[in-house]
Amino acid sequence: MTEIVPVARHLRRSGEWNASHADDSVRLDYDDRHRRRRLYTTEQGRRILLDLIEATVLRDGDAIQVEDGTLIAVRAAPEPLIEITAHGPDELSRLAWHLGNRHLPAQISENRILIRDDHVIVAMLRGLGAHVRSVTMPFDPEGGAYGEHNRHHAHAHGHPHDHEHDHDHGHTHTHD
């Protein structure tokens, strides 16, 4: 027997819906919250197919609206991150510049930066005088100057491909 999976084609952003009306929820890390089309299993074990027009970042507190009207709350799952702090705002700004120069997703606040755990970047940051420590928490990085669609410039599909967007924003990228 073939399972019929309900389809969700609409989102409701946090603040645009009453979270107490959630019928179920999904707990997702950042990668799983940046999708166009994806099969999810809710916390109650229900399978739903997210099928949006374009890739979208689902934020903690958003809701996926299933075709039958069911609302599935999106919860950001904790994931391993690196917390970066510095002796002051000038040093933290300099560290943010180095991370941005490497196109790393970063969650930036007044006195710290969160990035995904990467031992090479951690070594670089320590060499620049940063204080780094491992933490586990939800990750909600900045969307970037050119919008969230540029979140992944590095591709590892194992085959050559063309892009529907350009990278002409002041520097070059390579695709192996």
DSSP state letters, 61-126: T-EEEETTS-EEEEEEPPEEEEEEE-SSHHHHHHHHHHHHHTT---EE-SS-EEEE--HHHHHHHH
Residues 57/148, Cβ–Cβ less than 8 Å: yes
User: Across-strand partners of 25?
Assistant: 73
Strands 131-137 and 113-116: unpaired
Residue-wise pLDDT for 54-101, tens only, equals 999 999 999 999 999 999 999 999 999 999 999 999 999 999 999 999
At position 38, the amino acid (one-letter code) is R
Residues 130/95, Cβ–Cβ less than 8 Å: yes
Strands 24-28 and 71-76: parallel
Q: What is the mean pLDDT of the chain?
A: 85
Q: Give the homologous superfamily in CATH for domain 7-76.
A: Urease metallochaperone UreE, N-terminal domain (2.60.260.20)
Q: Which two tokens stand for residue 120?
A: 């090479």
101: left (phi over 0), alpha (psi -120 to 50) or beta: alpha
Model-level pTM? Answer: 0.73
Residue-wise pLDDT for 22-50, tens only, equals 999 999 999 999 999 999 999 999 999 99
User: Across-strand partners of 46?
Assistant: none
Nearest alpha carbon to residue 52 among 34, 64, 37: 37
Would you kindly state where each structural domain of the chain is located, as residue ranges? 7-76, 78-138
Residues 4/47, Cβ–Cβ less than 8 Å: no
Please tell us whether the domain made up of 78-138 is placed in CATH 1.10.10.10.
no
At position 130, the amino acid (one-letter code) is A
